[in-house]
Amino acid sequence: MCGIVGYVGAASDETALGVVMEGLARLEYRGYDSAGVAVLDGDHVEVRKRSGKLANLRADIDARPLPPTATAIGHTRWATHGGPTDTNAHPHRGGADGRLAVIHNGIIENFHALKTELLAQGAVFSSETDTEVAAHVLAAEYDRTGDLTAAMLAAVARLQGAFTLLAVHVDQPGVVVGARRNSPLVVGLGEGANYLGSDVAAFIGHTREALELGQDQVVTITPTSVSVVGFDGRPVEGRRYHVDWDAAAATKGGYPSFMAKEIDEQPHAVADTLLGRTKEDGELVLDELRVSEDALRAVTKVVIVACGTASYAGMVAKYAIEHWTRIPCEVELAHEFRYRDPVVDRHTLVVSVSQSGETMDTLMAVKHAHELGALTISICNTHGSTIPRESDAVLYTHAGPEVAVASTKAFLAQITACYLLGLYLAQLRGGTQADTAAAVMRELREMPEKIQTVLDRMERVREIARFMADTRSVLFLGRHVGFPVALEGALKLKEIAYIHAEGFAAGELKHGPIALIEPGQPVFIVVPGPATPHELHAKVVSNIQEIRARGARTLVIAEDGDEAVVPFADEVIRVPATSPLLAPLLTVVPLQVFALELATAKGLDVDQPRNLAKSVTVE
């Protein structure tokens, strides 16, 4: 939530505003309630900010140009404290003279107490934000120390909560100082210029060399130097890394939206996540995990923690991991796990799943699991992010940058990585479980091609979606691994098309939700393949009949060759046959395309749906 960019070039470099605006455009997916910049101009700091999307700020700057400068910071906001207005937009000035400007991501939990104290000292506030409080604290510390880095160190000691802060001061042109606590910040290393950003997208157009910062660190950048200290003031070394994607990967590449592009990239996302993780004989090698095989063999319980779409990937994983390994596996929403009293010990493997690696709820669950002594593995798509750093080990998904707020390719990559982890645990257990793992791996390698087949068949789904543009409610049913797929289908429709949608386990319908069925009610049914054990296929076909008898319009997702569904389906959407546990990689695709097309038909911004942000860095 909130995107942050900072840039410092040589004194003669006048590109800072352009660099920061470009970074904000790439970070806008993190929040789009308002946008603002601060540029250093001689003896004053000029702040320009506008509520609404970045385009509003751009239009304002076009109408009233800002001075050329070598030092600038910029912010795109997802509102927490104070509504999405011009005055609440960042940057905020601090101190009586307003010579310092601050941008912020996160929440300062003790802002009220600090504000009361500052008001008593005569500070004047113009916004309702917690950020302005931080700006005044920082300004007071600057007046005392005369140095922005020293002031930041003193200020963060007084702040509670989670935050990334960037600050500039007119007395120190050519310097941007940042601080992070439980909120993201990375450094971009340039030639004669340096960058700060909430993630590498902020500067990917200029450099692919980055420096990872740890928690509770303050960083000071100048055109030629980057220095990092802990909140205790001691120098620390950041970890340098090369970003393995470029600016082109973060553009729409001719597609009308990032979401459309990312849906189409799914075969690659799955293939790349599988790449290099098996030997020629099919044996899985996950050396990158850097967890001893003995520690993994000693695992007696797996707990998966995640939020939203990532939690549905976790639900799919539960079915697979228990089936392949016979190790009990639970899935829990990260924000629920953290605040109850979970039974976790050193033989529990806690797996977090997160595209961004910054979701605060998931991060807190991982930290809690650590405190309880569990072994923690993160499945994550973003190098240099916080959750992998806080975990014992990481298994990266290789979906590439996901920009659309609605997760699609990351979901498929997460499911794939969960399969890999489950199969690896099975392989380590040996015997028939290892044989099963080898057989599943062979089939998993065929999935990118099958996903492409599904994508190639989506024309009818698009027609159905356009036809349903005025629909007010859609239900989604699934069973076994089709249940999380139904939940994901409903979430996609809610978040980008603003249509009431519910996902149910098909077996649960008769226990209440069937009362919602009235003539014409559209219902998607994710049908398990006929090979699914326990006659689940037949049971779901019965469920379809039950709702059809009550007037539902049935949109059935079924395997090629499954003729049993035909008499009860108003529409049949076909996917290639596959073994039951792998089917989510196929059956979710039509639901993503349906949501995208319907939202597009309604004229909505599918990449930046209202009220949401890509990376949820507040609890």
Active-site residues, by number, are 2, 614
Across the beta sheet with 176-181, the strand order is 92-94, 100-108, 161-169, 176-181, 217-221, 226-230
Given a contact cutoff of 8 angstroms between Cβ atoms, the answer to whether 202 and 188 are in contact is yes
| Cβ nearer to ligand AGP, comparing 354 with 416 | 354
Shortest CB 618 distance to ligand AGP, Å: 11
| Cβ nearer to ligand AGP, comparing 333 with 601 | 333
State which residue has the least CB distance to ligand AGP: 308
Stretch touching ligand AGP by CB under 6 A, among 50-58, 64-72, 134-142, 401-409: 401-409
Phi, psi of 153 (to 5 degrees): -60, -40
| Cβ nearer to ligand AGP, comparing 552 with 588 | 588
> N- to C-terminal Cα distance for the chain?
11
| Cβ nearer to ligand AGP, comparing 356 with 521 | 356
CB atoms under 10 Å from CB of 224, counted, come to: 13
Across the beta sheet with 553-559, the strand order is 500-505, 473-478, 522-526, 553-559, 571-575
Q: Applying CB under 6 A, does 413 fall inside the site for ligand AGP?
A: no
Shortest CB 193 distance to ligand AGP, Å: 29
| Cβ nearer to ligand AGP, comparing 7 with 337 | 337
Given a contact cutoff of 8 angstroms between Cβ atoms, the answer to whether 70 and 10 are in contact is yes
Q: Applying CB under 6 A, does 348 fall inside the site for ligand AGP?
A: no
Shortest CB 497 distance to ligand AGP, Å: 12
d(CA 197, CA 236): 19
- Build a one-symbol-per-residue string for 300-319: x at contacts with ligand AGP by CB under 6 A, - elsewhere: -------xxxx---------
Question: Is the omega angle on the peptide bond into residue 91 within 30 degrees of 0, that is, cis?
Answer: yes
- Build a one-symbol-per-residue string for 360-389: x at contacts with ligand AGP by CB under 6 A, - elsewhere: --x---------------------------
Q: Applying CB under 6 A, does 356 fall inside the site for ligand AGP?
A: yes
Phi, psi of 432 (to 5 degrees): -65, -30
Q: Applying CB under 6 A, does 397 fall inside the site for ligand AGP?
A: no
Helix (H) or strand (E) holding 195: strand 193-197
Buried b or exposed e, range 108-129, using 16+ CB within 10 angstroms: beebeebbeebeeeebeeebeb
d(CA 302, CA 319): 12
Shortest CB 382 distance to ligand AGP, Å: 8
Amino acid found at 75: H
Shortest CB 352 distance to ligand AGP, Å: 8
Q: Applying CB under 6 A, does 616 fall inside the site for ligand AGP?
A: yes
| Cβ nearer to ligand AGP, comparing 167 with 585 | 585
Q: Applying CB under 6 A, does 257 fall inside the site for ligand AGP?
A: no
Partners of 555 in beta bridges:
524, 571
Stretch touching ligand AGP by CB under 6 A, among 115-123, 355-363, 420-428, 501-509: 355-363
Shortest CB 112 distance to ligand AGP, Å: 28
| Cβ nearer to ligand AGP, comparing 149 with 354 | 354
Q: Applying CB under 6 A, does 238 fall inside the site for ligand AGP?
A: no
Among residues 34, 127, 207, 355, which is the contact residue for ligand AGP, using CB under 6 A? 355
Shortest CB 309 distance to ligand AGP, Å: 3
| Cβ nearer to ligand AGP, comparing 207 with 414 | 414
Smallest CA-to-CA distance from 477 within 542, 537, 539, 543 is with 543
Smallest CA-to-CA distance from 419 within 311, 303, 325 is with 325
Q: Between residue 5 and residue 24, which ones bind ligand AGP under the rule CB under 6 A?
A: none
- Build a one-symbol-per-residue string for 537-576: x at contacts with ligand AGP by CB under 6 A, - elsewhere: ----------------------------------------
Annotate 123-188 with three-state secondary structure.
CCCCCCCHHHHHHHHHHHHHHHHCCHHHHHHHHHCCCCEEEEEEEEECCCCCCEEEEEECCCCEEE
Phi, psi of 486 (to 5 degrees): -65, -40
Stretch touching ligand AGP by CB under 6 A, among 2-10, 222-230, 353-361, 531-539: 353-361
| Cβ nearer to ligand AGP, comparing 13 with 262 | 262
d(CA 57, CA 235): 37
Q: Applying CB under 6 A, does 405 fall inside the site for ligand AGP?
A: yes
Stretch touching ligand AGP by CB under 6 A, among 25-33, 64-72, 402-410, 563-571: 402-410
Smallest CA-to-CA distance from 286 within 177, 379, 415 is with 379
Shortest CB 483 distance to ligand AGP, Å: 17
Q: Applying CB under 6 A, does 259 fall inside the site for ligand AGP?
A: no
Residue located via tokens 């509003």: 56
Buried b or exposed e, range 145-158, using 16+ CB within 10 angstroms: eebbbbbbbbbbeb
Among residues 129, 217, 325, 359, which is the contact residue for ligand AGP, using CB under 6 A? 359
Q: Applying CB under 6 A, does 350 fall inside the site for ligand AGP?
A: no
Query: For the range 320-325, what are the long-range contacts, defined as Cβ-Cβ under 8 Å and sequence gap of 24 or more?
Result: 320/418, 320/419, 320/422, 320/481, 320/581, 321/418, 321/421, 321/422, 321/425, 323/581, 324/422, 324/423, 324/425, 324/426, 324/433, 324/436, 324/437, 324/440, 325/422, 325/425, 325/426, 325/429, 325/433
Shortest CB 206 distance to ligand AGP, Å: 25
| Cβ nearer to ligand AGP, comparing 170 with 306 | 306
d(CA 4, CA 78): 11
Shortest CB 490 distance to ligand AGP, Å: 11
Q: Applying CB under 6 A, does 495 fall inside the site for ligand AGP?
A: yes
Among residues 374, 406, 527, 606, which is the contact residue for ligand AGP, using CB under 6 A? 406
| Cβ nearer to ligand AGP, comparing 141 with 262 | 262
Among residues 149, 164, 182, 354, which is the contact residue for ligand AGP, using CB under 6 A? 354
Buried b or exposed e, range 415-434, using 16+ CB within 10 angstroms: bbbbbbbbbbbbbbbeeebb
Footprint of ligand AGP on this chain (CB under 6 A)? 307-310, 354-356, 359, 362, 405-407, 495, 615-616
